[in-house]
Structures are given as C-alpha cells and as structure tokens.
C-alpha cells in the first residue's frame, strides 16, 4: 500500500512516521514544487511537480498516483486542501482516497470570517469578530468591545500580519494598508492545540491529543505540554462531528476563565503533530487502517499527559539538486 504526501516542504517527521508505519507493506511518495524541500529526501521516492496554481497540476498528480499505485493522498499546505477536495471524484475513479474534509469545510476553515459565523451561529464560544470597522467602533462606543483587540487577514496563516491593536489610530493605519481584515476580541488566556483524527469510514472522532502551548515561533508551537480534560474532549468531539470534518485536523483553542473558545481549524496535519505522535497518538496507523477498509476504534485521550514537546532544527545536505 503506497501513500502520497503532497507539498511536503519541511515536514520531515510526517514522512518518517509514515515510512515507519508502512515498513514492509508500502512506500511513501513525496512531492513538492521545490527541489530544496528537505522532506522530499526522506521519502522512498519523490517528484518535483509544478506549482499547485499551474494548469494541469492535478493531471500530473493523477499520473503519478497511477504510476506509483497510490492508495491514499493528502497535502500538508492549506491552499491545496480545497483543490484536492474539489477533485475528489477524479481520485476515486483511479482508486485513490483523498484523506481530508469536504470542499465546503476546507474553504470555511481557510476563511476566518466564515469560521466565526459558523461557530457563533452554532452556539460555540469564540472570539467576537468584525469585518466592518464602523460596527466595531460603534460597539466600542457602546462598551460592548474593548481594546486591545486582534487584527488579522481573513485568509491568513502562520501568524503573518496578526497584530494586537491598542487604539483607533493604529487600527486606521492597518486598514489603510490592507484589505480583507478582521477585528477580533482579545482572548486573554491559555492557548491550546488539538490534533484530532476523525475516522474516514465511521465518521467518529477516534483520537484526540491536546497540549498547552508554552512558546510560539514563526506562527508555530515551539514548546508545549500535553494535558487531558474530559470537558475539552467532549467539546472537541461535539464540534468536529457537528461541523463534519474527516481525517486529520488541527484545532486552535483558548482557555479563558475556565471556558474553552474555539479559534481556528486547519484540516490537515498541523506543524505541531510530532508532539502527539511521540506521546503515543499514531494517526498514521489510523489512516492505514482506513485505507485498508478497517474502521478504527474510539481511543480518545490514549496518550501520556505532562509530556513536554520541544522543537529543534535539523539540516539535510545533497551534492546534486536539479534546480529548475
């Protein structure tokens, strides 16, 4: 059974873990648009492919799937998630399962405003948000909103252009320089990350790993500690089932005054997933089972708590790389 990981970039650990799980039964095939993506060299075989925005990209991926007898495919970057979901039928036709959520959920997860509307209309705690600056100013007048607030692009990732804003003057400066911004209530509390697997066959939430974030770097969790709370597991399960996510997802949550607030979802392996794996949440195995037609048993919270995760950098060297 072979698996293909698209846009692997620097996610070497994800490739390593899959290779470990597939040892003796299959290969990991990796792709990236850049020959300088280090995770390529971790895989059993790799392909340098066009950028996802180029015409014919999906045809090329389908060709590789056929040649490599791929059973399951997923991407590690946000803009590719919707593309895969949109072409789901073309993959099914050649016997390939896209491990991921529906097109609607992929698009909602990328759009922070849509996500906010869904969360608030379904009764989940979340940071009060605005895309209309005037409405926000009105609510400040009415003392419904208070500075500081967070300002961020509606379609943002990796913390790019996310700022804490303390006054109207600074707010105006941000809005002069950017479009499609969102203003959000400041959640003053503990940041939490959840790595969740939703069984692709049964639709059940079968694994949840939660951690408290201690330090962030370049928009990713750099240091964190695992913990368990039944109340949080229940909230995650309810939210994920109600929204209808499938496969691997990563959720950002805040704990403020004993209440949990859902912030955002990445419907893919998050950058912090290795912490979950190292604590015992082997989601690669869950994926392999699903691809073999086996649904997984519910095993929520099956990991060690109080385990600290600390990231570090590594380097890959190659003498000859064909820079296109």
Ligand X SMILES: Nc1ncnc2c1ncn2[C@@H]1O[C@H](COP(=O)(O)OP(=O)(O)O)[C@@H](O)[C@H]1O
> Which chain residues interact with ligand X by CB under 6 A?
127, 150, 152, 156-159, 162, 184-187, 191, 216, 219, 252, 263-264
Torsion sign (Cα): 173, 177, 183, 184:
negative
The entry of Mg ion, ligand X, none near residue 152 (CB within 5 to 8 angstroms by kind) is ligand X
The entry of Mg ion, ligand X, none near residue 305 (CB within 5 to 8 angstroms by kind) is none
Q: How far is the CB of 318 from Mg ion (least distance, A)?
A: 32
- Site for Mg ion contains 220 (CB under 5 A): no
Give the number of residues in contact with Mg ion, rule: CB under 5 A: 1
Burial (0-12, 13-18, 19+ Cβ within 10 Å), 213: buried
Contact between 275 and 309 (Cβ < 8 Å) = yes
Nearer to ligand X, 28 or 126 (CB): 126
Q: How far is the CB of 169 from ligand X (least distance, A)?
A: 20
The entry of ligand X, Mg ion, none near residue 186 (CB within 5 to 8 angstroms by kind) is ligand X
Q: How far is the CB of 146 from ligand X (least distance, A)?
A: 12
The entry of Mg ion, ligand X, none near residue 127 (CB within 5 to 8 angstroms by kind) is ligand X
> Residues 107-131, buried b or exposed e (16+ Cβ, 10 A)?
ebbbbbbebbebbeeeebebbebbe
What is the pairing mode between strands 181-185 and 163-165?
A: unpaired
Nearer to ligand X, 158 or 294 (CB): 158
The entry of Mg ion, ligand X, none near residue 184 (CB within 5 to 8 angstroms by kind) is ligand X
- The token duo for 203 is 């639709």
Torsion sign (Cα): 149, 151, 154, 159:
negative
Q: How far is the CB of 216 from ligand X (least distance, A)?
A: 6
> Alpha carbon of 113 to those of 132, 201, 211, 322: distances in Å?
11, 30, 25, 41
- In SS3 terms, 136-193 reads as HHHHHHCCCCCCCEEEEECCCCCCCCCEEECCHHHHHHHHHHCCCEEEEECCCCEEEE
Which run of H or E residues covers position 108? helix 103-110
The entry of ligand X, Mg ion, none near residue 80 (CB within 5 to 8 angstroms by kind) is none
Nearer to ligand X, 31 or 184 (CB): 184
- The token duo for 217 is 């770097």
Nearer to ligand X, 69 or 111 (CB): 111
Q: Which residue is nearest to ligand X (CB)?
A: 187
- Site for Mg ion contains 252 (CB under 5 A): yes
Q: How far is the CB of 30 from ligand X (least distance, A)?
A: 24
Q: Which residue is nearest to Mg ion (CB)?
A: 252
Q: How far is the CB of 252 from Mg ion (least distance, A)?
A: 5
Distance CA 258, CA 48 (A): 47
Beta bridge partner(s), residue 45: 29
Q: How far is the CB of 5 from ligand X (least distance, A)?
A: 21
- The token duo for 125 is 């705690």
The entry of ligand X, Mg ion, none near residue 126 (CB within 5 to 8 angstroms by kind) is none
Nearer to Mg ion, 26 or 309 (CB): 309
Contact between 28 and 3 (Cβ < 8 Å) = yes
Binding site for Mg ion (CB under 5 A): 252
């Amino acid at each position: 059974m072979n698996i293909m990981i698209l846009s692997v970039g620097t996610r070497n650990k994800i490739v390593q873990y899959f290779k470990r799980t597939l040892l003796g039964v299959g290969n990991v095939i990796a792709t990236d648009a850049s020959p300088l993506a280090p995770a390529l060299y971790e895989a059993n075989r790799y392909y340098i492919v066009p950028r996802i925005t180029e015409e014919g990209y999906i045809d090329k991926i389908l060709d590789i799937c056929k040649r490599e007898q791929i059973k399951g495919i997923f991407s590690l970057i946000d803009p590719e998630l919707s593309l895969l979901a949109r072409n789901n039928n073309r993959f099914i036709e050649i016997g390939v399962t896209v491990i991921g959520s529906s097109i609607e959920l992929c698009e909602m997860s990328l759009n922070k405003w849509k996500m906010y509307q869904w969360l608030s209309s379904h009764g989940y705690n979340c940071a009060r948000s605005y895309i209309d600056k005037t409405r926000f100013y009105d609510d400040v007048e009415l003392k419904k909103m208070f500075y500081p607030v967070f300002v961020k692009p509606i379609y943002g990732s990796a913390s790019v252009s996310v700022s804490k804003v303390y006054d109207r003057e600074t707010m105006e400066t941000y809005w002069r320089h950017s479009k499609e911004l969102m203003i959000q209530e400041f959640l003053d509390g503990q940041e939490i990350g959840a790595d969740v697997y939703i069984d692709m066959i049964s639709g059940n939430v079968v694994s949840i790993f939660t951690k408290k974030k201690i330090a962030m770097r370049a928009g990713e969790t750099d240091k964190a500690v695992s913990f368990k709370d039944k109340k949080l597991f229940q909230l995650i399960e309810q939210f994920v089932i109600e929204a209808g996510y499938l496969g691997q997802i990563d959720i950002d949550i805040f704990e403020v005054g004993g209440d949990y607030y859902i912030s955002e979802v990445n419907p893919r392996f998050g950058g912090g997933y290795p912490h979950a794996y190292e604590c015992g949440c082997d989601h690669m195995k869950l994926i392999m089972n699903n691809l073999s037609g086996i649904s997984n048993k519910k095993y929520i919270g099956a990991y060690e708590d109080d385990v600290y995760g600390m990231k570090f950098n590594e380097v890959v060297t190659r003498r000859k790389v064909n820079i296109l």
